[in-house]
Amino acid sequence: MNKEELKLRTKQFALRTIKLVRSLPKDVPGKVLPNQLMRSATSVGANYRSACRGRSKAEWRAKLGISLEEVDESAFSLELIMEDGMLPLQRVEPLWKEADELCAIFYTALESARRPS
């Protein structure tokens, strides 16, 4: 997967999250989790784009690390939504799987960058 494909994939993750958040209940947990999830899910792509424009390898790693943290936080919020039963599992699980895959991609990229050349 190249840089442009990953930019698109992270944007699609944010857009899919927006759609999911719109369908959450409006009770107390349904008000708190959407805010956290929206912030973290939209931050994934924003920080990845920023990483792609990094001025140094250190800056690239730092921004990619933030993307990893944010997608992991998104996955955690999605797990809470699934385990609480706020939405049907089949509605949330595909997005959670995408978060998990993005975590793996960012983690692998960071590990590769840490290895000596």
Output the pTM of the full model. Answer: 0.93
Residue 115's pLDDT band, with cuts at 50, 70 and 90, is confident
- Helix ranges (DSSP H) in 28-88: 28-52, 57-84
CATH number of the domain to which 41 belongs: 1.20.1440.60
Q: What is the pLDDT of residue 117?
A: 62
d(CA 88, CA 42): 22
Q: What is the pLDDT of residue 9?
A: 98
Give residue-wise pLDDT tens across range 39-97: 999 999 999 999 999 899 999 999 999 999 999 999 999 999 999 999 999 999 999 99
- Host domain of residue 45: 3-114
Structural domains counted in the chain: 1
